[in-house]
Amino acid sequence: MKKTYLVTGGQGFIGKAVSFSLLNQGYNVITFDNNFREKKFLLTHQNLKVIKGDIRKRNDLNKIKSKIHSVIHLAAINGTKNFYDKPDLVLDVGIRGIINIVDYCKYKKIKEIFLASSSEVYQNAPTYPTDEKVRLIIPDPHNPRFSYSSTKIISEIILLNSNIFKRAIIFRPHNIYGPDMGFKHVIPELIIKTINGKNSIKIQGDGNNKRSFCFIDDFVSAFNVILNKGRHKEIYNIGTQEEIKILNLSKLIVNLMNKKCKIKISSKLFFNAKRRLPDLKKIKKLGFKPKINLNKGLMKTIEWYKVNYKL
């Protein structure tokens, strides 16, 4: 019998990439998604079942009648604007979601689960590169910015203290990007502003905060390594160590698109971690090696948005 994976949030950016990879490896996949963000390009495949449902509603999960061998839990409300505008929804989906999916696994006797956490759990980390053992922190409980990272920390704690799984693995993605990732993240926002031919582009903050961006194909390669070799109740960073300031990222995108736009900084104050630079020793020991540098990944992403962003 072919192994069947249930991918919650399976029609999202990362969900589609993971599901497509699994399907190409010959597995059966069931995606579970409520299409919170309207998606123009839905994943289809002969070995794919698509179920529309809300992770907060156990009755929706009960629609899944197939035998499930493994769960990949990605369902969440992401995006900085949502953290500020809809923190109650972010918290509801994140916390009810992990409780429901663990209860569902217990009911269906599913013994394997992969949980998507986030680099957000580190905030301003105490060390760089940041390994998986540093403290996790919520800097200010009054700030709705931390609604998302709170749900990820809670999800990790719930999973690590569960005794129903034979194999439970947590991964923390770091700034994954690529074609068809929506319009509310820094790279597609910068690309779209540049496509629109504006004379200037405004970025949030002063642009001195640093990030290390990971192209979606490298993410999938890393996830497949964890899928095959990851150990029970271990946590793995996924990302790259090619670090860049957001100001320089903005200039790079403009240059790659052969445009002339001035970069303007915003005086608006908001929390933004100074750096996100993952320590990758742990996952590299399993065999992962990033292959796509930032220039190449950005060009692939730019070309996709040139064709598709107005559809």
* Residue 278 forms part of a structural domain: no
Residue type, 34: N
pLDDT per residue rounded down to tens, the chain (311 residues): 789 999 999 999 999 999 999 999 999 999 999 987 666 677 888 999 999 999 999 999 999 999 999 999 999 998 888 899 999 999 999 999 999 999 999 999 999 999 999 999 999 999 999 999 999 999 999 999 999 999 999 999 999 999 999 999 999 999 999 999 988 789 999 999 888 876 778 887 788 999 999 999 999 999 999 999 999 999 999 999 999 999 999 999 999 999 888 888 876 666 788 999 999 999 999 999 999 999 999 999 999 999 987 75
Is 277 a domain residue?
A: no
Are both 199 and 141 inside the same structural domain?
Answer: no
45: nearest Cα among 61, 29, 32 = 29
Rounded to two decimals, the pTM is 0.95
Whether 148 is in a domain gets the answer yes
Segments in 62-146 forming alpha helices (H): 80-85, 87-108
192 lies in the same domain as 265: yes
- Tally of domains within the chain: 2
Indicate whether 94 belongs to any domain. Answer: yes
* Torsion angle (degrees, nearest 10) of CA 269, 271, 275, 278: -160
Q: Domain containing 150 — which CATH number?
A: 3.40.50.720
